[in-house]
Amino acid sequence: MSTGFKGKVALVTGASTGIGRATALLFGQRGAAVAVVARDPVKAALVVDEIRAAGGEAAFIGADMREPGDIAAMVAQTVKRFGGLHCAFNNAGVNGIAAPFHEQTLAEFERVVQVNLTSVFLCMQHEIRHMLGAAGGVIVNNCSGAGLIPAPELPHYTAAKHGLLGLAKVAAKEYANRNIRVNSICPGVIDTPMMQAHLGQDSGTIDALLAQLPGKRMGRPEDIARAAVWLCSDDAAYVSGDTMVVDGGLMAH
């Protein structure tokens, strides 16, 4: 086990599946105590068990990102359980129902913005409040290529992810002199349950997508996990307010 995060506490939201799961596992491998934040205790327990089986330390923290009280409790419980909070990967998100812009409902718009943007604002507030009272910390928000370019028929997702980049940049500026770094990752097309649901069962759709990708493959959750953990590491000590695109060259122009 590499021990770059020995003595550090890392919190990961949406940690029971996909990119969050891979990032929680990697933090565990690197020696951090990991708060595995999720709604589903059964799936989360598998991640906790996997980290412990590899010699790491982890605990499940239940939280629904639609509930402000859960988010406050998530940070408080992490600090109580592990004695601190040094790194936070705000990753939980939903894709939203795809539909032409003019047919989207207000309810669906508000649902996607609440989970993907408002919840991250609240996560950051609670994380920063703790970090201000400690020696600082690092926050990484999981954004999307849709934070930089539009995803047609997903105006809610696009708006929320564009907004996330703004949140990270404001916080990076405000807290640079308090030893708190804040960055964003924009994944490209990553093979996770969310992407599988988005693509559906149509192999023609998947083949057409793969043909568009520069490396002819989707990214793996681990590709994003390595970027997130690096941004949280001391190797990235002077990186803040940045937007890191991890998409295998998809958006290069």
- Per CB under 6 A, residues contacting ligand NAD are 14, 16-20, 38-39, 64-66, 91-94, 115, 142, 144, 187, 189-190, 192-195
b vs e for 57-72, b when ≥16 Cβ sit within 10 Å of the residue's Cβ? ebbbbebebeeeebbb
Looking at beta carbons only, is 55 or 193 nearer to ligand NAD? 193
Look at the chain and count its residues.
Answer: 253
Catalytic residue among 5, 60, 157, 175: 157
Compute the least distance from the CB of residue 161 to ligand NAD, in Å.
Answer: 7
Compute the least distance from the CB of residue 177 to ligand NAD, in Å.
Answer: 29
Nearest CA-CA partner of 134 in 6, 250, 9:
9
Distances, alpha carbon 190 to alpha carbons 5, 27, 36, 170, 210, in Å: 26, 19, 21, 27, 11
Looking at beta carbons only, is 65 or 168 nearer to ligand NAD? 65
Compute the least distance from the CB of residue 6 to ligand NAD, in Å.
Answer: 26
Looking at beta carbons only, is 39 or 52 nearer to ligand NAD? 39
CA dist., res. 76 & res. 74, Å (int): 6
Looking at beta carbons only, is 64 or 222 nearer to ligand NAD? 64
238 is catalytic: no
Compute the least distance from the CB of residue 13 to ligand NAD, in Å.
Answer: 6
Determine contact, residues 137/85, Cβ cutoff 8 Å: yes
The terminus-to-terminus CA distance of the chain in angstroms comes to 38
Cite the active site residues: 157
